[in-house]
Amino acid sequence: MKITYIAPPPEAGKRAAERVAGCAHVIYNVPNIYVLWVAAVLEKDGHQVRHVDAALENWSPERFREFIKGDDSDAYYFYSVNLAKELDIATTRMIHEVRPGVPVIFTGPSPSDKVDDFVVDAHTFVVRGEAEVTTRELVRALRDKTPLAGVDGMSWRDGTGPVQHNKPRALIENLDEIPFPARHLIDRDAYFNPKLGVRPFTSVMTSRGCPNQCIYCVPSSVTFAAELENKRYFGCKPRVRVRSIDNIVAEFEQLAREGYKGISIQDDQFAWGTERTVELCRRLAPLGLAWGCSCRADRLNEPIIKAMAAAGCKYIDIGVESFDPKVLRYIKKGYDDPKMVERVIKLIQKHGVKAKINILFGASPLETKTTIKRTIQEVRRIGPDQVMYDIVNPFPGTELYNLAKKEGWFRYGDYVPADVGKHSIIQLPHLKPRDLERAIRYANITFFFSPRFLFKNIVALRSLAALKNSLVAMYRKLV
């Protein structure tokens, strides 16, 4: 079969949804390896796969509609997130208007959560949770016209009847069995990470899952899809699974041979033990690749950070959220010692790696203007290299969502998709939405326009192209 992944263009005047992290609009473009993993599995099964990102290519809605009219794909598939939900469903209806009966397959966290909303007709299918094996089996069933009821992990509609939810699929235990992402389907020069500043750039994932219980957490979108499915059927988060060191090194070696210079590791949490992480880094070091990742502060120590630096790690993202111990305890961060976080940030910088931290305003009813002010002051005092300020958005499927519904914290009565970097959908006992929105603007301006930040980052850029891309990313973030 000929199968085309599509990301439709946004409506006029609106920004495209970011589909990898899945909770904001695009600031800079990251290859969606979750899509490319599925594509690799389908190619291995003998199918012809294309990748059409009309948002990245700046297509107009009219051009996209004309593309569908003239296309001969046997099926389309979407990777959908909350910010893209309405657009993707509307696009499906357009596709079935132009090409009646062509199958449309949805994967990703939003379809895994709101299954019935996506199964709009008998020709639309939802792959819940992890997508690789279920999508392969679904496409086989569509090709061979075999019963869909035997495909675990998917939902569908039999004619005009109710949505049918097949039993859940077991997690993929051995991640090494998944072929490397089909990166040949995309234009690698279209992607750039300003934190690395080099091209060609791509992304890699070396593990899936996180065992921690943070009440607000929306992990990487592929992990969140699996988490939503697992919680629905089994009442718990999925197990953490890690790829073997040999398998990870083989992918990095392939990328080095193909001329890639920079890699963003998309794991929810990269450092799974000192011995494993140090050995992995020892084997990555000779490749000379620049890379970065996310880690929990309480899983980092000096041997790990030193090994990461020696292996080419250029930045480490840490989810700090707040410097107030009471807030940290309430959100079940797993630690409540801001001084430990400060020590880790200083260790990262000591070994020449950039420390980027993520701060989340409003994740607890204990949050006040005073706690926010203290956090902003601590960020400025400690001096991380980068910071991402966001307003909490209680996603369906999280403990915070249930609390927000119960306590009436939702500004509009329930969750609505919103850009977490700018807009508040919650109102807390001590904070109104405008308080949170003003706080995030103030925090961003005071950090990103400080002389220390501007000088450090302009000096670090390697070319005019890198400067341009970094300025575009900053504009999208702040404006």
The rounded distance, in Å, linking the Cα atoms of 347 and 341 is 10
What pLDDT does 396 receive?
Answer: 85
Amino acid at 248: I
Residue 129 has which token pair? 């949770």
Mean pLDDT by 10 residues, the chain (479 residues): 97 87 84 97 98 96 96 97 94 97 97 96 97 98 96 94 96 97 97 92 96 90 94 93 98 98 96 98 98 97 98 97 96 95 97 96 95 96 94 91 96 88 91 95 89 65 53 53
Residue linked to tokens 């609390």? 403
Q: What is the pLDDT of residue 474?
A: 53
Angle ∠(166,172,174) on CA atoms, nearest 5: 160
In this structure, are residues 138 and 237 in contact, taking their beta carbons and an 8 Å threshold?
no
Query: Which DSSP letter does residue 386 get?
Result: E
Report, in angstroms and rounded to the nearest whole number, the Rg of the chain calculated over CA atoms. Answer: 22
Show the tokens assigned to 69: 């009219």
> What is the pTM (predicted TM-score) of this model?
0.91
The DSSP 8-state label assigned to residue 176 in this structure reads G
Cα–Cα distance measured from residue 4 to residue 23, given in angstroms and rounded to the nearest whole number = 24
- Give the separation between CA 452 and CA 456, rounded to whole angstroms: 6
Of 8, 41, 21, 22, the residue nearest 185 (C-alpha): 41
**pLDDT score recorded for residue 204:** 98
Q: Which of 249, 260, 244, 246 is closest to 203 using CA atoms?
A: 260
**In contact, 437 and 391? CB cutoff 8 Å:** yes
At 278 the pLDDT is 98
Residue 208 has phi, psi (to 5 degrees) of -130, 130
Whether 433 contacts 418, CB under 8 Å: no
What is 296-333 written as a DSSP string? -GGG--HHHHHHHHHTTEEEEEEEEE-S-HHHHHHTT-
Amino acid (1-letter code) at residue 373: K
CA contacts within 13 A on the Cβ side of 248: 23
DSSP state of 183: G
User: Which pLDDT score is estimated for 307?
Assistant: 98
Q: Is the peptide bond before 286 cis (omega within 30 degrees of 0)?
A: no
Cβ partners under 8 Å of residue 229, min gap 6: 112, 128, 129, 130, 153, 168
321 φ/ψ sector (left φ>0, alpha ψ -120 to 50, else beta): left
Give the 3-state secondary structure percentages of the chain, helix then strand then coil, rounded to 5: 45, 15, 40
Q: Are 294 and 272 in contact (CB under 8 A)?
A: no
Q: Are 379 and 447 in contact (CB under 8 A)?
A: yes
